[in-house]
Amino acid sequence: MCAIAGAIGMSDMFYDDPKIAIDIRNCLKHRGPDQDGFYIDDDAVLIHTRLAIIDIENGTQPMIAEDRGEEYVLVYNGELYNTDEIRNELIALGYSFRTHSDTEVVLKAFIEWREDAPERFNGIYGFAIWEKNKKSLFVARDKLGVKPFFYGIFGDKLIFSSEIKGILKCPLAKPKVDTKGIAEIILIGPGRTSGYGVFENISELRPGECGFFKDGKLKTHLYFSLEEKSSSESFEETLEHTKFLVTDAIKRQMVSDVPIGTFLSGGLDSSAISSVVSSALKEKGERLKTFSVTYKDNDKYFTKNKFQPNSDSEYILIMQDYLNSDHTTVTVDTPLLVDANYRAVDARDLPGMVDVDSSLLLFCERVKEDRSVVLSGECADEIFGGYPWYRDKEIRMTDGFPWSQVTDFRASLLRKNIAKKINPSAFVYQKYLDTIDQVSGEFDKTPTDKRMREMYLLNIYWFMQNLLERKDRMSMACGLEVRVPFCDYRIAEYLYNVPWEYKDYKGREKGLLRKVFEDILPSEIVWRKKSPYPKTHNPSYTKAIDEQFLKMVDDKTSPVFEILERTELLKLAHTTDTIYWYGQLMATPQTKAYLLQINYWIKKLNVTFVD
């Protein structure tokens, strides 16, 4: 993978101070430590840093092509998984290729099909193509939003980047946050409204969005969205169709000119991916490298609960033996985990999922020592119905985001003058309605079917987006490419219209997916109750967070008090209540850790708050 950045309409600024381009490159270098490149003319500046995975010798960027008197310049972050099909189609149309990289395929696909090109792509990407003579920039993001594309518009000028930090390196951009941005951080966070960049004047292309920036204006449209359709397939046909899509997605995402590995938690999703990858590698005489993460003394302190009925370790051993994989377990200790809570903010440029982020960051740093590409099981829960809120009939029928039912508590933390400007309940509820109102229910036979379709969209466009952002930032902070086969748009598109009764096979979470792998994986793995991403159970983590939180609250100069009430944070410092800030992943210790992140974020970026 890579990082991209660029600026349109401000070349004079970059000519006068070349250090701006260097600073942007340097702050994104972690995403692409292998190579970098620049392009500049009188109207455009394009910047690229590269993690070399495919066609290492010839895939350098920015990539330039000339056709019919026009010069096209591409910067691209991503991976196409149907490169061969598109290349062959273009060859049949008379195009020739000097590389076997997907970068050249993306560029020439745009030359041929222009804004219709992304509709043909199966992959993960954010890219920009400058047409020198037309003075026009085309921008696009992948169908489900796996890869980022942020941009800022300042008058008639545009700057874009794979990460917000790249935009903030431009003198025109300032780390200002208005009332709406505060509402995002406190009422929605660590989630984020699709397309919204929190900082003033900064936005993000939505999943499946593309457009042109020309004559000082950006015009975009959605080229992909999930569509309601009727389903006439039987359960057996659905089973075979699902099996093909999942296995095909996994195999497609194995393409690499460097060795690959997989994350392995012992759960259904990572085990399914590891099994398919392992089988394919064995055919070539190769052995799969697998990785898992745990925490110091977790076995000592682990206790069962309704969200995590058993630990991962015994199931990882079952899969390790089953696959005969070369396995590495990464053990994270509390001091590193707490310290990485702040490094994770640096990676996201925003407060995030605290220890769920920081542990992944530490995990990826270790994995990078052995591999530059791994496959992971994210997105299966959203698509196949794995989360508790899919299962609990009361929660799933309750209005509002099912993973965040504490809007009143969140709002109580805001300074009173800010809360009055926002109307917190209405702010959050309207975003919920905007999502479920996209469902007509035309093809749903029962109210439950319609509700589960609504839940699907809520998960795809909210919860999954947060996890994808987490995965991208924490892995790319280490120069590690993590691929997510379950996020193949064909799977999401197809499963959107699969009846709930099929997904709910045997009344089990991800029942359909379990049935698909019933004859492929050990039965202990197939029918293991869902367990969430592994978390620390060591009480030293809670103690360390409590100490830091109390220190922050005791310091009346803490910047977080610009937006939050100190009296309310004092209550939180001493509460014994269990608070689920963001589903089961963020309880009371994580809530405190999130507020610590906000305090750090304000101070580190020198954030200023404006009306």
DSSP conformational letter for 218:
E
Q: Note whether 325 and 374 are within 8 A (CB).
A: no
Residue with tokens 């495919």: 54
Give the angle subtended at the CA of 276 by the CAs of 273 and 277, to the nearest 5°. 85
Surface-to-core class of residue 132, CB atoms within 10 Å of its CB (0-12 exposed, 13-18 middle, 19+ buried): middle
Question: Residue 404: CB partners within 8 Å, gap ≥ 6?
Answer: 188, 191, 410, 428, 581, 582, 583
Surface-to-core class of residue 26, CB atoms within 10 Å of its CB (0-12 exposed, 13-18 middle, 19+ buried): middle
Catalytic residue among 2, 27, 364, 487: 2
Task: Copy the structure tokens of residue 224.
Answer: 């992909």
Is 2 in the active site? yes
Surface-to-core class of residue 400, CB atoms within 10 Å of its CB (0-12 exposed, 13-18 middle, 19+ buried): middle
Considering only CA atoms, which of 352, 388, 541 is closest in space to residue 465?
Answer: 352
Q: Can you list the alpha helix ranges (DSSP code H) found in 369-499?
A: 380-384, 388-391, 393-396, 407-413, 416-422, 424-436, 447-458, 464-476, 489-495
Q: How far is CA 30 from CA 49, 222, 349, 472, in A?
A: 8, 30, 14, 12
CA distance 380 to 490: 13
CA distance 505 to 491: 18
CA atoms within 13 A on the CB side of 325: 31
Give the angle subtended at the CA of 79 by the CAs of 77 and 84, to the nearest 5°. 135
DSSP conformational letter for 133:
T
Task: Copy the structure tokens of residue 433.
Answer: 């309605």
Cα of first residue to Cα of last residue in the chain, in angstroms, is: 38
Task: Copy the structure tokens of residue 64.
Answer: 């330039």
CA distance 355 to 587: 11
Considering only CA atoms, which of 77, 85, 131, 133 is closest in space to residue 105?
Answer: 85
Name the residues annotated as catalytic: 2
